[in-house]
């Protein structure tokens, strides 16, 4: 409905293409594409068909049912990784992620909390001199002479 109002306003001359596009929250080029689609097929042509069509990669329902029944019948106390290795040995062709997602969606295995970050930020030390960082690097400060620069930094106060 909102597109039709913007389209009619643009057609009658009350709105420019840029204003109509701004009203819809799209760029001028997208509005021009919408106009061409609307002229060719009406409002039906503007609908996003990706939302209504099933994916061509979607697994058949009977395959999903067979997988869940196999897990319940024989492997119910196994985790997804171990089950997937036996699934592949039995002739299964799907990926580990797909198998795990199917088992999670059916409620047969629990979703596991993500692991923490590898390197966690630590709190600074509270007392001066408690933790000292030292770094050394060689630079050519004077032509043809390389000297070492040693920096010592206090963790608590950032003093160098």
Q: Is residue 116 in a domain?
A: no
Q: Is residue 9 part of a domain?
A: yes
Q: How far is the C-alpha of 60 from the C-alpha of 65, rounded, in Å? A: 9
Same structural domain, 8 and 38: yes
Give the model confidence (pLDDT) of 28-46 as tens digits: 999 999 999 888 888 888 8
Are 20 and 31 in contact, with CB atoms under 8 Å apart? yes
**Choice between 55 and 100, residue whose per-residue pLDDT is larger:** 100
**Residue 122 resides in a domain:** no
The rounded mean pLDDT for the chain is: 87
The torsion angles phi and psi of 50, rounded to 5 degrees, stand at: -65, -25
Lowest mean pLDDT among 36-40, 124-128, 132-136, 144-148: 124-128
Q: Does residue 92 lie in a domain region?
A: yes
**CB distance 132 to 154 below 8 Å:** yes
In this predicted structure, the answer to whether residue 1 has a pLDDT above a threshold of 70 is no
Average pLDDT (104-131) is: 82
Domain containing residue 79: 61-105
Please identify, among 13, 30, 51, the residue that sits at the C-terminal boundary of a domain: 51
Q: Does some domain include residue 114? A: no
- The tally of domains found in the chain comes to 3
């Amino acid at each position: 409905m909102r597109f039709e109002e913007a389209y009619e306003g643009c057609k009658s001359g009350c709105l420019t293409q840029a204003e109509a596009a701004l009203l819809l929250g799209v760029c001028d080029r997208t509005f021009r594409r919408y106009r061409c689609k609307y002229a060719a097929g009406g409002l039906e042509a503007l609908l996003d068909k990706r939302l209504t069509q099933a994916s061509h990669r979607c697994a058949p329902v009977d395959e999903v049912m067979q997988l869940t029944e196999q897990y319940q019948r024989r492997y119910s106390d196994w985790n997804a990784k171990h089950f997937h290795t036996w699934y592949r040995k039995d002739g299964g062709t799907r990926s580990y992620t797909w198998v795990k997602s199917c088992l999670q969606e059916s409620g047969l295995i629990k979703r596991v909390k993500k692991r923490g970050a590898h390197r966690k930020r630590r709190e600074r030390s509270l007392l001066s001199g408690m933790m000292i960082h030292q770094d050394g690097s060689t630079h050519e400060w004077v032509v043809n002479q390389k000297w070492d620069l040693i920096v010592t930094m206090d963790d608590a106060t950032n003093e160098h």
